[in-house]
């Protein structure tokens, strides 16, 4: 057999394996059959969990830790990455303000804050970066990005001229926004916001109604939060001439998308497309014979900006065969994604639990890839 080139470009398997670990496991599976094969590993992400690690791995950068304010106002340790070249930083807002930092008893979108996400941006600016990339998925917040802005010098004032407390509900009392102390370095910083949802800030498809319940909001709380964000958007428009209420993506991360648009020169962009550009995946795939991609779960949402779908679209432009591997593949997906994926492999061993399968995920990926190649050797020869 001639020496084939495999490109391995998966997302992380959330809560189980980083994208790099998935890459390594797929490579082992390939080399169990074809030890001379060339494997080009490109750890991917779509702006959510694993974005920092994937881009740091892809550019030989470095991950740093910072002590910041968590969503409940208490200190947490968060991470950010400085990419190779030291000019670009990458942040996952969830590291500082994510849903994983609260539990069933403590989650409360009335009071949770994005202040820590702003502190992460400040930490990056202190390192002299001129470009920032921020993934804004998985938040515990519904504060319209007010906390983020507060961390960078913005003051949100009530009728008495007193600063508002943390949280989305407090925005109902907003009278005036003072940006005189907003960090000046933001003016000279390019900020790309990696956003995988298109929801507006307010209304029935907005931040409060769509995402509030999963953050602990009751129907009454949802109404109150939506009204507070509507009032907030009105103040932003009146003072700064920026209408953030109905912009697609403004409702991401409890309205952090809107706050970023209001107080920085941010642009909202599709996550996987940014990662594809940073990793030069298009050029890498051109010389490939086969492309492996994947994520923890392939379902109906995969087609809406998720990593495997984005990778497959690039690969199909170059007429490459695409093999998708996942922890779990929802019923009916093989029929739905026939154009994107030539083959779809699940690593879940039906003789044991899904949880047990994922616990031994790397070994299961290796075995599944090896067996797939053995069973379909005619494709590779």
Average of per-residue pLDDT across 52-70? 90
Tell me: the pLDDT tens digits for 124-182?
999 999 999 999 988 999 999 999 999 999 999 999 999 999 999 999 999 999 999 99
Provide the whole-model pTM.
Answer: 0.79
Residue found by looking up tokens 């920092």 in the block: 52
Structure token pair of residue 297:
């779960």
Place of tokens 């790099």: 20
247 vs 261: CA distance, rounded Å? 9
Structure confidence at residue 349 as a pLDDT band (50, 70, 90): low
pLDDT of residue 356: 67
- Answer whether 346's CB lies under 8 Å from 327's CB: yes
Provide the 3-class DSSP secondary structure of residue 326: strand
Mean pLDDT of the chain: 92
Q: Note the pLDDT tens digit of each residue in 220-245.
A: 999 999 999 999 999 999 999 999 99
**For 359, phi and psi rounded to 5 degrees?**
-60, -35
Across-strand partners of 326? 295, 346
Average pLDDT over residues 299-322: 91
Q: Band of the pLDDT at 51, cuts 50, 70, 90?
A: confident
Per-residue model confidence as pLDDT tens digits over 160-172: 999 999 999 999 9
CATH 3.40.50.10350 intervals, the chain: 5-43+289-380
Mean of pLDDT values over 30-47:
92
The pLDDT score that the predictor gives to residue 50 is 77
Rounded mean pLDDT of 99-111? 95
pLDDT at 189 over 60: yes
Establish how many alpha carbons lie within 13 A of residue 166's alpha carbon, considering only the half-sphere containing its beta carbon.
20
Burial 80-91 (b: 16+ CB within 10 A, else e): bbbbeeeebbbb
Write out the residue limits of the CATH 3.90.1510.10 domain(s) in the chain: 51-271
* Percent of the chain whose predicted confidence (pLDDT) is above 90: 77
| Architecture per CATH, 5-43+289-380 | 3-Layer(aba) Sandwich (3.40)
pLDDT of residue 1 exceeding 60, the answer is no
Q: What percent of the chain has pLDDT over 70?
A: 97
Is the distance from CB of 52 to CB of 79 less than 8 angstroms? Answer: yes
- pLDDT the model gives residue 49: 75
Least-confidence region, from 129-133, 241-245, 333-337, 355-359: 355-359
Classified as helix, coil or strand, 5 is: strand
End-to-end Cα spacing for the chain: 6
Looking at domain 51-271, its CATH class is alpha beta
Which residue from 8, 3, 4, 2 is spatially nearest to 322, judged by alpha carbons? Answer: 8
On the question of pLDDT at 2 being above 60, the answer is no
């Amino acid at each position: 057999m001639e020496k084939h080139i495999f490109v391995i470009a998966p997302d992380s398997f959330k809560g189980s394996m980083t994208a790099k670990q998935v890459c390594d496991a797929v490579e082992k599976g390939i080399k169990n059959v074809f030890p001379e094969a060339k494997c080009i590993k490109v750890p991917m992400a779509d702006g959510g969990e694993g974005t920092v690690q994937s881009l740091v791995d892809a550019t030989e950068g470095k991950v740093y830790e910072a002590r910041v304010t968590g969503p409940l106002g208490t200190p947490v340790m968060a991470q950010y990455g400085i990419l190779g070249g030291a000019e670009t930083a990458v942040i996952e807002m969830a590291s500082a303000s994510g849903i994983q930092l609260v539990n069933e008893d403590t989650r409360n979108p009335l009071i949770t804050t994005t202040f820590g996400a702003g502190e992460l941006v400040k930490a990056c600016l202190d390192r002299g970066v001129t470009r920032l990339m921020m993934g804004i998925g998985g938040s515990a917040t519904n504060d319209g990005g007010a906390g983020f802005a507060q961390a960078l010098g913005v003051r949100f004032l009530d009728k008495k001229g007193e600063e508002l407390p943390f949280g989305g509900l407090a925005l109902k009392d907003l009278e005036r926004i003072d940006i005189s102390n907003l960090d000046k370095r933001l003016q000279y910083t390019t900020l790309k916001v990696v956003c995988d949802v298109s929801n507006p800030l307010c209304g029935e498809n907005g931040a409060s109604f769509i995402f509030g319940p999963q953050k602990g909001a009751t129907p009454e709380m949802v109404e109150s939060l939506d009204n507070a964000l509507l009032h907030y958007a009105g103040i932003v428009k009146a003072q700064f001439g920026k209408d953030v209420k109905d912009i697609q993506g403004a409702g991401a991360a409890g309205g952090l998308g809107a706050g970023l648009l209001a107080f920085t020169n941010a642009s909202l962009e599709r996550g996987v497309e940014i990662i594809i550009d940073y990793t030069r995946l298009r050029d890498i795939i051109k010389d490939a014979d086969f492309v492996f991609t994947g994520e923890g779960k392939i379902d109906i949402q995969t087609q809406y900006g998720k990593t495997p779908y984005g990778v497959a679209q690039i690969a199909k432009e170059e007429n490459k065969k695409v093999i998708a591997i996942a922890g779990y593949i929802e019923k009916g997906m093989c029929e739905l994604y026939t154009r994107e994926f030539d083959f779809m492999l699940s690593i879940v061993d039906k003789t044991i639990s899904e949880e047990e399968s994922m616990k031994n995920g790397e070994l299961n990926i290796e075995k599944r890839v090896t067996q797939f190649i053995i069973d379909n050797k005619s494709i590779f020869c």
